[in-house]
Each structure stands twice: as structure tokens, then as C-alpha cells.
Amino acid sequence: MSNKDDESIEMLYSKSCLDLNMDMETKLDAWRSYEHIRKHYVLEG
């Protein structure tokens, strides 16, 4: 994934969190979880 794609995903994520009125701790925890999954797992098929 390119840096531009990463920025786009993060912007969409931030907007979604704002729309859902998520608190900062939950937002950061979910983002860290997303990054961990993205680094360690691959969808094949």
C-alpha cells in the first residue's frame, strides 16, 4: 500500500470515529489493532 493510500484510510477512519462520537482512547486502541492486523495477516484467495 502506498503512503497516499495509508493517509486516505486514516482520514476515513478518523471521520468514522468522529461520526460515531468515539472517545480518544477507544479510537487509538482500535487503530493500533488495525495496524497490528495489517502487518501480521494477509488475505489469500
CA distance 22 to 14: 10
Overall average pLDDT of the 3-18 stretch: 92
CA distance 19 to 17: 5
Predicted TM-score (pTM) of this structure: 0.78
CA distance 37 to 15: 21
pLDDT recorded at residue 1:
64
> Which tops the pLDDT comparison, 3 or 32?
32
Q: What is the pLDDT of residues 11-27, one digit of tens each?
A: 999 999 999 999 999 99
Q: What is the pLDDT of residues 25-34, one digit of tens each?
A: 999 999 999 9
Q: How far is CA 31 from the centre of its chain?
A: 4
pLDDT recorded at residue 6:
80
